[in-house]
């Protein structure tokens, strides 16, 4: 009899100190060969597998590693390469792989968007005109590698066909049934080859099943999984879901697979078991350890949860695992030597979560007495954090408790205050601006690193930052941009920077996670009550404004984005933390305004991504998000202009909430989605000012002036010229200086030409 087993769904790719990122970027810069890149990443991959086995995991996932993105990996496995990249068949080259993700001089990169409601980005597959075929069995290669080089009989992981198709672009070919029928034989071939190689388990990820599917779609899903299961009856297929509870639980639970993976942390999956039970012929892979947050688990509660689960499934049919891939958390707390021991003791990164999984598995196998020491250690660490000074700020709690609706409304409605703003700023038609950040060169990062290490003085560092501001204010004025930015050279990351300044936050040293491609972020830790301590952005903003007569935007990150892009304490309601952040930002905004900064951008790129997958939770989330944004921004004068920025979002369903933010100007990504977001404004009336990004900054490619003009004209079919701003899609921090200058020059030239044509039309 097989006893309860331990497993993970996936593991971080980047290495403990981002070795993966550095190898990728060295390869892209031509500093290492393809062979050297592959050798380095193989070493990292094998080390990760060995670490999981050493920590005690029974079912080690293989094939979850990626050089860029696992959805893109699925595309190239099946030869799904857009025609513009010149692919002619066979195994997809690494050059083409990265071209799809990053674009080339002659071919626009594929769209990139958020992976469900996380801050991870995936490359959206393009299925138009594609006949898929299996050109490389990636899970098989990874399975063989682990078996031959480490002796690990791993659990191959692949993205399921339902999720892959549902997340793809088909440009009019919306026939889910025919696409699924086309891909199913290819998945069968992948599974057959795995079975022939000796694989016992395979994990097929279908997170899309947390969303409601129609009866017809469910029938097609059943046909696909029936075909796969019949083809490989000896293979134990674990159908893995995560991020929420399954929407069509009864139908999914009846699919002919060996096991079903459920998220018991972010989805109320226990209620499904209690209402419908669990199939007697299946294994339950129970995600009880949080794969998306970094706090040590309350193991007593997890033991109780597992006891509840065991009322519905026998011990021998249980797998204990993380709720989602550990891709979403850092690798290990071990090197975090600078954190307060109380904080460090309350954390669990990937390796520590694996230890929790193994401990809980042991408890199920051998009883609670076998894990008494581990439980006691957990209790002490959590008690130390909960009773610490970080969570005892009564003033913050009282300020949140006494908030009223009067605290969240501007003095005048938009239609009246915009007149005062126009009088103050005197901007031309179709004003140009950027989103905020400007290139952070290696020199900028190295200088910051020296300052942090104490190798240069505070004064020397401030002088250096000011020199960068001097340089880029001059560049922006020379290019002819209408509303300038200071460039954010003093900031490591748009969220981490505020985490370093507000009370109630801590910042780790090695807590990196992948965001997109080689881009890694280090989310701050919201561990206590959040409070404003002193002005954060005023000094640089005021200095930049002193250099020019044009308006310079103050640049802040909004409360919802700070919340969604941080690791948030889990001992109080999440929306209480959100309002604490908003109150702290309100004081920062008031400090900027008092110092003469009258155009202030409060970025909310993560507002849409934080929308819960469960539709029943949408209303509460959106109301809380709107309330917090208004709480942060509503106290300014009528002629102070509030901007915000959002990206990678489907806005049709939340356009009313966006309008309710009551920001004077909003900028939104649109170029990488081929302008499709504009449809949200075709179908809804939007009465405020708006900038739809006219070129993609996530690719080194600089579009032509005609391309940018085309994007502008496309937007002007829906939006009035008097409402419209012209800007890039997003911040320019990750771009090189020459790319940035060239891109902005082209953007301003395009704007001027369209402006002249619009003015000429009005004069006629």
**pLDDT tens string 693-740:** 887 776 777 888 998 898 888 888 888 899 999 999 888 888 889 999
Q: Is the pLDDT of residue 140 over 70?
A: yes
**pLDDT for residue 650:** 64
User: Scanning the structure block, which residue is given the tokens 């082209």?
Assistant: 746
**Based on the structure, what is the number of domains in the chain?**
2
Report d(CA 97, CA 308) in Å as an integer: 45
Same domain, 60 and 125: yes
Task: Please name the residues in contact with 663: beta carbons below 8 A apart, sequence gap of 6 or more.
Answer: 602, 629, 633, 642, 643, 644, 688
Task: Among 389, 421, 452, identify where a domain stops.
Answer: 389
**pLDDT for residue 734:** 82
**pLDDT for residue 730:** 85
Task: Please name the residues in contact with 241: beta carbons below 8 A apart, sequence gap of 6 or more.
Answer: 205, 206, 207, 209, 210, 252, 260, 261, 262, 263
Does the annotation list 20 as a binding residue?
yes
**pLDDT for residue 715:** 84
Same domain, 411 and 425: yes
Supply angle C-alpha 57, 58, 64, rounded to 5.
Answer: 70
Domain range enclosing 418: 395-763
Q: Is the pLDDT of residue 188 over 70?
A: yes
Q: Which amino acids are annotated catalytic? A: 698
Does the annotation list 536 as a binding residue?
no
**pLDDT for residue 414:** 96
Q: Could you read off the pLDDT of 232-289 as tens digits, one per residue?
A: 999 999 999 999 999 999 999 999 999 999 999 998 999 999 999 999 999 999 999 9
- Which pair of structure tokens corresponds to residue 748? 């301003």
Q: Could you read off the pLDDT of 404-427 as tens digits, one per residue?
A: 888 999 999 999 999 999 999 999
Task: Among 355, 373, 389, identify where a domain stops.
Answer: 389
- pLDDT-derived band at 435 (thresholds 50, 70, 90) equals very high
The DSSP secondary-structure symbol of 108 reads: P
Using alpha carbons, select from 462, 469, 477 the residue that is nearest to residue 437: 469
Task: Among 345, 374, 389, identify where a domain stops.
Answer: 389
Answer for the pair 291, 322: CB distance below 8 angstroms, yes or no: yes
Note the Cα 726 to chain centre separation in Å.
25
**pLDDT for residue 348:** 98
Does the annotation list 540 as a binding residue?
no
Q: What are phi and psi of 243, to 5 degrees?
A: 85, -15
Average pLDDT of the segment spanning 646-670: 82
Same domain, 511 and 654: yes
Task: Please name the residues in contact with 403: beta carbons below 8 A apart, sequence gap of 6 or more.
Answer: 579, 631
User: Scanning the structure block, which residue is given the tokens 């579009």?
Assistant: 703
Q: Is the pLDDT of residue 687 over 90?
A: no
Does the annotation list 356 as a binding residue?
no
Q: What are phi and psi of 236, to 5 degrees?
A: -90, 100
Strands (E), 148-306: 155-159, 201-205, 236-240, 259-263, 283-289
Please report, rounded to a whole number, the percentage of residues in the chain having pLDDT higher than 70.
96
Same domain, 118 and 10: yes
Does the annotation list 377 as a binding residue?
no
Q: Is the pLDDT of residue 762 over 80?
A: no
* Three-class SS of 393-410: CHHHHHHHHCCCHHHHCC
Same domain, 336 and 463: no
Same domain, 82 and 163: yes
Strand order in the sheet with 641-646: 554-557, 599-603, 641-646, 665-668, 689-692, 724-725
Q: Is the pLDDT of residue 501 over 90?
A: yes
Note the Cα 535 to chain centre separation in Å.
28
Q: Is the pLDDT of residue 675 over 60?
A: no
**pLDDT for residue 129:** 87
**pLDDT for residue 679:** 64
Q: Give the DSSP letter string of 8-65.
A: -S---SS-TT-HHHHHHHHHHTTSS-HHHHHHHHHHHHHHHHHHHHHHT-SB-EES--
- Which pair of structure tokens corresponds to residue 620? 């509460």
Same domain, 470 and 487: yes
Q: Is the pLDDT of residue 684 over 90?
A: no
Among the residue ranges 316-325, 384-393, 532-541, 713-722, the one predicted with the least confidence is 713-722
Task: Select the highest-mean-pLDDT range: 116-120, 608-612, 632-636.
Answer: 632-636
Q: What are phi and psi of 123, to 5 degrees?
A: -90, 120
**pLDDT for residue 342:** 97
Answer for the pair 261, 239: CB distance below 8 angstroms, yes or no: yes
Instruction: Assign residue 752 the CATH number of its domain.
Output: 3.20.20.210
The DSSP secondary-structure symbol of 204 reads: E
Task: Please name the residues in contact with 439: beta carbons below 8 A apart, sequence gap of 6 or more.
Answer: 732, 733, 734, 735, 736, 737, 740
Q: Could you read off the pLDDT of 28-47 as tens digits, one per residue?
A: 999 999 999 999 999 999 99
Same domain, 304 and 404: no
Report d(CA 55, CA 153) in Å as an integer: 16
> For residue 494, with 0-12 CB atoms within 10 Å meaning exposed, 13-18 middle and 19 or more buried, which class applies?
buried
Does the annotation list 114 as a binding residue?
yes
Same domain, 489 and 552: yes
Same domain, 261 and 405: no
Answer for the pair 350, 512: CB distance below 8 angstroms, yes or no: no
Same domain, 197 and 329: yes
Average pLDDT of the segment spanning 361-387: 95
Same domain, 360 and 404: no
């Amino acid at each position: 009899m097989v006893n309860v087993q331990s497993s993970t769904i996936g593991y971080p790719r980047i290495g403990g100190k981002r070795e993966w990122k550095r190898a990728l970027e060295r390869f892209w810069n031509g500093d290492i060969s393809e062979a050297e890149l592959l050798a380095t990443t193989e070493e990292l991959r094998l080390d990760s597998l060995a670490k999981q086995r050493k920590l005690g995991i029974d079912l080690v996932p293989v094939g979850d590693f990626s050089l860029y993105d696992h959805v893109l990996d699925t595309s190239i496995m099946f030869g799904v390469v857009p025609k513009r990249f010149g692919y002619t068949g066979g195994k997809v080259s690494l050059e083409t792989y990265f071209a799809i993700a990053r674009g080339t001089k002659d071919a626009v990169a594929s769209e990139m968007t958020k992976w469900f409601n996380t801050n991870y980005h995936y490359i959206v597959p393009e299925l138009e005109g594609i006949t898929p075929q299996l050109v490389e069995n990636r899970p098989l290669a990874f399975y063989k590698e682990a078996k031959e080089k480490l002796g690990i009989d791993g659990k191959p992981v692949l993205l399921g066909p339902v999720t892959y198709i549902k997340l793809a672009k088909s440009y009019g070919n919306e026939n889910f049934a025919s696409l699924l029928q086309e891909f199913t034989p290819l998945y069968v071939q992948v599974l057959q080859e795995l079975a022939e190689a000796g694989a016992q388990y395979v994990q097929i990820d279908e997170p899309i099943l947390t969303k409601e599917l129609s009866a017809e779609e469910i029938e097609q899903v059943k046909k696909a999984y029936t075909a796969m299961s019949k083809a490989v009856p000896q293979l134990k297929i674990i159908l893995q879901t995560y991020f929420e509870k399954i929407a069509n639980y009864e139908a999914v639970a009846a699919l002919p697979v060996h096991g079903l993976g459920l998220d018991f942390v972010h989805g109320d999956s226990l209620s499904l078991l209690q209402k419908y039970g669990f199939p007697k012929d299946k294994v339950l892979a129970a995600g009880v350890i949080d794969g998306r947050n970094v706090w040590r688990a309350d193991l007593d509660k997890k033991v109780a949860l597992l006891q509840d689960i065991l009322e519905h499934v026998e011990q021998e049919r249980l797998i204990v695992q993380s709720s989602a891939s550990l891709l979403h958390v850092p690798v290990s707390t071990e090197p975090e030597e600078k954190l307060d021991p109380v904080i460090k003791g309350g954390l669990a990164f990937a390796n520590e979560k694996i230890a929790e999984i193994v401990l809980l598995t042991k408890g199920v196998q051998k009883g609670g007495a076998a894990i008494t020491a581990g439980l006691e250690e957990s209790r002490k660490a959590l008690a130390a954090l909960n009773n610490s000074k970080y969570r005892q700020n009564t003033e913050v709690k009282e300020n949140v408790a006494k908030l009223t609706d009067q605290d969240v409304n501007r003095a005048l409605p938009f239609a009246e205050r915009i007149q005062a703003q126009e009088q103050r700023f005197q901007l031309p038609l179709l004003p140009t601006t950027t989103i905020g950040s400007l290139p952070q060169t290696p020199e900028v990062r190295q200088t910051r690193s020296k300052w942090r290490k104490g190798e240069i003085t505070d004064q020397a560092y401030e002088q250096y930052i000011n020199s960068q501001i001097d340089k880029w204010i001059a560049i922006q004025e020379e290019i002819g941009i209408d509303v300038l930015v200071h460039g954010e050279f003093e900031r490591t990351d748009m969220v981490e920077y505020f985490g370093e300044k507000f009370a109630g936050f801590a910042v780790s040293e090695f807590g990196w996670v992948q965001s997109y491609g080689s881009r890694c972020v280090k989310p701050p830790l919201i561990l206590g009550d959040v409070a404003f301590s002193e002005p954060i952005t005023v000094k640089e903003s005021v200095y930049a404004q002193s250099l020019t007569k044009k308006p310079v935007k103050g640049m802040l990150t909004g409360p919802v984005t700070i919340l969604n892009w941080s690791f948030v304490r889990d001992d109080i309601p999440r929306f209480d933390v959100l309002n604490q952040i908003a109150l702290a930002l309100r004081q920062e905004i008031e400090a900027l305004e008092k110092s003469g900064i009258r155009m202030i951008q409060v970025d909310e790129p993560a507002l849409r991504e934080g929308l819960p997958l469960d539709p029943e939770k949408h209303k509460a989330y959106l109301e809380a998000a709107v309330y917090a944004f208004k709480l942060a921004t509503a106290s300014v004068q009528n002629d102070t202009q509030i901007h915000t920025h959002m990206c990678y979002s489907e806005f049709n369903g939340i356009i009313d909430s966006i309008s309710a933010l009551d920001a004077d100007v909003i900028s939104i990504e649109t170029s990488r989605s081929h302008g499709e977001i504009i449809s949200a404004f075709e179908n809804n009336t939007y009465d405020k000012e708006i900038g739809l990004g006219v070129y993609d900054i996530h690719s080194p490619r600089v579009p032509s002036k005609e391309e940018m003009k085309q994007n502008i004209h496309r937007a002007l079919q829906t939006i009035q010229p008097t409402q419209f701003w012209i800007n890039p899609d997003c911040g320019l921090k990750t771009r090189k200086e020459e790319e940035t200058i060239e891109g902005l020059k082209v953007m301003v030239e395009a704007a001027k030409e369209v402006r002249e044509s619009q003015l000429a039309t009005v004069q006629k």
